[in-house]
Structure formats: structure tokens, C-alpha cells
Amino acid sequence: MDLDTLWNVALSAIVGIMGWLANVWHSELQRLQILLNRTREDIARDYVTKAEVHADMNRVISRLEALDAKIDRLMERVGR
């Protein structure tokens, strides 16, 4: 076997290994991208937005204010 043939075989093997590694790397990146997208969907499903928190807090505060007004009226009646 002459040197040119040996050189072609070595280069072909190196390029083949590099192509295989690139394919493995690419498939791993796709897998990680899918996992990241699932994580983002889970976070969006499990947590509330600021607007939802503010709306709920406003409902709680309005109910507390109504209770406070009722207690004030009750205290006025008892004080008479």
C-alpha cells in the first residue's frame, strides 16, 4: 500500500468519525431543546402571572375591607 492510499484511508476515517460525532452532537442538542421547551411549558402551566396575582389580591383586600366595615358597624351598635 502506498503512502497516498494510506493518507486517503486515514483522512476518510477522520472525516467519518467527525461526521458521526457531529450527528451525535446534533441529536443531543435536539433532545435538550425538546426538554427545555417542555420545562418552559410546565413553568407557564404551574405558575401564575402578575396580573392574576394582582387580581386575586384585589379580591382579598376588597373582602377584608367589607369585613372591616361590618366589624365597625357591629362595634357601633355594641357601643350604644
Each residue of 12-67: pLDDT tens digit? Answer: 999 999 999 898 888 988 999 999 988 888 887 778 889 999 999 999 999 999 99
Kindly state whether residues 42 and 56 are assigned to the same domain.
no
Separation CA 52–CA 58 (nearest Å): 10
**Contact residues for 41 (Cβ-Cβ < 8 A; gap 6+):** none
Kindly state whether residues 32 and 61 are assigned to the same domain.
no
Q: What single DSSP character describes residue 47? A: S
Across the range 4-17, mean pLDDT stands at 93
The range of the structural domain enclosing residue 38 comes to: 1-47
Q: Return phi, psi of residue 49, to 5°.
A: -90, 170
Coil, helix or strand at residue 2: coil
pTM: 0.45
Kindly state whether residues 53 and 43 are assigned to the same domain.
no
C-alpha distance across the termini of the chain, in Å: 116
